[in-house]
Each structure stands twice: as C-alpha cells, then as structure tokens.
Amino acid sequence: MILLLGFLMMTGVAVAQQLQVQGKVTDATGEGLIGASVLVKGTTSGVITDIDGNYVLLNVNPDAILIFSYVGYQTQELNVSGRNKIDVVLHDDQQVLEEVVVVGYGSLSKKEVSSSIVQVDKKNFNLGAMNNPMEMVSGKVAGLNVNTQAAANPNSSSSLQVRGATSVSASNSPLIVIDGVAGGDIRNIAAQDIESITVLKDAGSAAIYGT
C-alpha cells in the first residue's frame, strides 16, 4: 500500500507539470491564419488554428518545442519555456515568392504582386472525397470560408465566401475563373486535373475580371 501511494504521488507531480498553451497565429498584417499547424516537436500531438487563427494545446511539457507552419509561410520553432500563451507571426517564405502566379493580365512572380493573392499547389491540397474541388483548399487560405454543410438541394455543393461574413459582398459567391475563362463551374472539373488554385482576396486583384 505504501508503494502504491508513493507511485500515485509521483504521477500527480508529473501531471501537474503539464501546461495548457494557447495563442494566435497571424501573418505580418495581423490577420489570423486559419488552418495553420501547431505541432509539439518530436511527437504526434498537435492542432490546427481556428477561423480566427487561435489554437489551444493541452498537456504540453514546459520545455517542449512548438512548430508553427502554414502553406506559403516560413516555419517557426519556439520553446515553450513554461509559458501558457504564445502568439506567433509567420512571415512569407521568400522561396515561395519566387514562384510564378498567373493573373488576368499576365504572369508575375509572387514577390512582384501587390494584391492579396494566395496560391495553393497540388502537393498541398486536402485529400479525400469531396463534392467541390474548392474543399481541397479548405483551411489553407486565410479569409476563405468553404462551407461543407449539406444544403436542402441535393445537387448543391460547398458554398464559398472570401474575407468572411463581415465583408461588404458577404452574400455573394466569388467569381470562378478556370484557365483564364471567367464564370465556369468548378464542380465540372475533376479534382485530379487541377494543378493549383489561386484565391484573389481583394478588389485590386479581382478588378481585371470586372468584379
């Protein structure tokens, strides 16, 4: 009985040392990054950020290292150092900025684009069966909301919203442009045929298409 009590006391001390760590992951402009990965290094324990970029990790060792990553941004590793709150700002990956982005008036390298544009390549798509190919980038683009809830119409698919419900045009679905042709239906495209999806998130980048 004495040995058992001693074991329980030691276990209680070990549990007490675990931390709950929370915080927010943003880009350089302060916008929360939805779907950013927060992983405890050397383990399989991790979470993704919510629609506002917030995260909560449970049972974290005080000396653990957290890995923050997001498509198109530089990965950061931070030591918990006994902290309960860790906010992180992720910066653009310069190597990714060298890649070419196709826009309505031609093609530019990402670092030359002044508008808010996010491109997700095939290797970073979500996997699985999906009604709408846009679900492949759900959680990959800050400000893009892909609503996968089933609607009353059995022929309907995911609804799309850029910049959130507080935007001026929140009631309108975004314009779909397929290989430079505006007004197409992305549901008619086989997911395996899509090489990349680019989201134009502001008026400046979308104006070339008359929106």
Residue pLDDT tens, the chain, 211 long:
444 444 444 444 444 489 999 999 999 889 998 888 899 999 888 998 998 999 999 999 999 999 998 877 889 999 999 999 999 999 887 665 555 555 554 444 544 444 566 777 777 787 776 767 777 877 777 777 776 654 445 555 556 666 554 444 444 566 777 666 666 677 777 777 777 777 776 665 555 555 5
Domain count, the chain: 2
In a domain, 12, yes or no: no
Closest by CA position to 157, among listed 147, 172, 167: 147
pTM equals 0.46
In a domain, 137, yes or no: yes
Residue 110 shares a structural domain with residue 191: yes
In a domain, 159, yes or no: yes
Do 80 and 58 form a contact (C-beta atoms < 8 A)?
Answer: no
Segments of the chain assigned E as strands = 19-26, 37-40, 46-48, 54-60, 65-69, 76-79, 88-89, 100-103, 106-109, 117-121, 144-147, 159-162, 177-178, 181-182, 196-200
Residue 191 shares a structural domain with residue 99: yes
The CATH number given to whatever domain includes residue 60 is: 2.60.40.1120
Residue where a domain terminates, one of 70, 89, 108: 89
Residue 155 shares a structural domain with residue 175: yes
Do 109 and 117 form a contact (C-beta atoms < 8 A)?
Answer: no
